[in-house]
Amino acid sequence: MAAAVLLIGPALADDCANPEALGTARTLEVDPAAFGRIGTMQYRQTLPLAPKEVVLTFDDGPMPPMTTKVLEVLRSECIKATFFLVGRNAKSHPAVVRQIALDGHTVANHTQNHPLTHMGYGYSVQEFDAGFRTIAEALAPDGARPAPFARFPGLFNVSAVEQQLNARGVSVFSADFLADDWLRIPPNQILARALARLEQKGFGILLLHDVQPGTALILPKLIQELKARGYRIVHMVPASGKTVAIAAAEPASKPAAPAPAKPTAAKPAARKPAPVAADTATVEFSFVTRWRKYYEEQQKAAAKNSPKIEYFNVADR
């Protein structure tokens, strides 16, 4: 088998103006052909990271001022991360999208509208196509393009869509652990959960949200703790020459001419709807059920100010 990734490092040590910064230890090139589905929260495969190596990923942006604050912190620490952007937010804040790319971060796709409903196959494909297209439009003035990386909203993955994205040369990302920064918990709990889960796992992909105030607030402390505990930041980028083909928007269809009136006929007996085929199922229901249970348990724990930090792991596909 050909080499799946190309490891380059150290990445930015010579360019960092802050001698005390954590920095980015190395760059890891990801080939979607070898790494189609990534992250042990849902899949059996994750990135080939060494112990104490961490990949930072941020979802849902761009949304100033939170995203810009996150960028400031990362810039001061010479850290490169991956941002999974929502297309409609990219359209509203194209300057922030370009700043993310100009700062050297990886720009990826988190769908156009971040739907947290059960997405069917056709709707999911349209969401990812529109997301790539909108993000590409925001990056176009600087000649940049989005990476062939995608993440489902809420991690509500659809197998048939994963296969379609992989066939187009797009890696689908889950994560290895969370910080629960989208829950209604205090910032100190966000920090504690991120660090405890990292210590438990030892390495991996951390999922954060750059639109959350708590994330921007704890990020400097998180980086400080990573440095004190001997962790190293890895920046993931597409393998050389790997890009995603941007699907053109479908042209608006013209309204059809009214059909001539027909004689009224007796209505046929109503039929039961045909069952939905397995390959067009709206979501992976077993995962969604576990996710909702996890969310409810974490909310209860937060309400009781509990130190509970466990998280589910469903690497069953």
What are the pLDDT digits (tens) for 93-116?
999 999 999 999 999 999 999 987
pLDDT value of residue 316? 41
- Residue 190 sits in a domain whose CATH number is 3.20.20.370
pLDDT value of residue 124? 87
- Contact yes or no for 236/56 (Cβ under 8 A): no
Whether residue 173 is contained in a domain is answered as yes
The stretches of the chain forming alpha helices (DSSP H) are 66-76, 87-92, 94-102, 121-139, 159-167, 187-201, 213-228, 285-303
Whether residue 133 is contained in a domain is answered as yes
Q: Which domain holds residue 207?
A: 5-238
Whether residue 292 is contained in a domain is answered as no
pLDDT reading at 298 higher than 50: yes
| Residue range 232-271, pLDDT digits in tens | 999 999 998 788 777 777 665 555 555 555 555 555 554 4
CA quadruple 111, 112, 116, 121: dihedral sign: negative
| Residue range 144-160, pLDDT digits in tens | 999 999 999 999 888 99
pLDDT reading at 293 higher than 50: yes
Q: Label residue 293 exposed, middle or buried (CB < 10 Å: 0-12, 13-18, 19+).
A: exposed
| Residue range 49-101, pLDDT digits in tens | 999 999 999 999 999 999 999 999 999 999 999 999 999 999 999 999 999 99
Whether residue 266 is contained in a domain is answered as no
With cut-offs at 50, 70 and 90, classify the pLDDT of residue 231. Answer: very high
- Distance between CA atoms of residues 303 and 218, nearest Å: 20
Q: How many domains does the chain have?
A: 1
- Distance between CA atoms of residues 45 and 42, nearest Å: 9
Whether residue 291 is contained in a domain is answered as no
Whether residue 256 is contained in a domain is answered as no
Whether residue 317 is contained in a domain is answered as no
pLDDT reading at 193 higher than 70: yes
Whether residue 27 is contained in a domain is answered as yes
pLDDT value of residue 200? 96
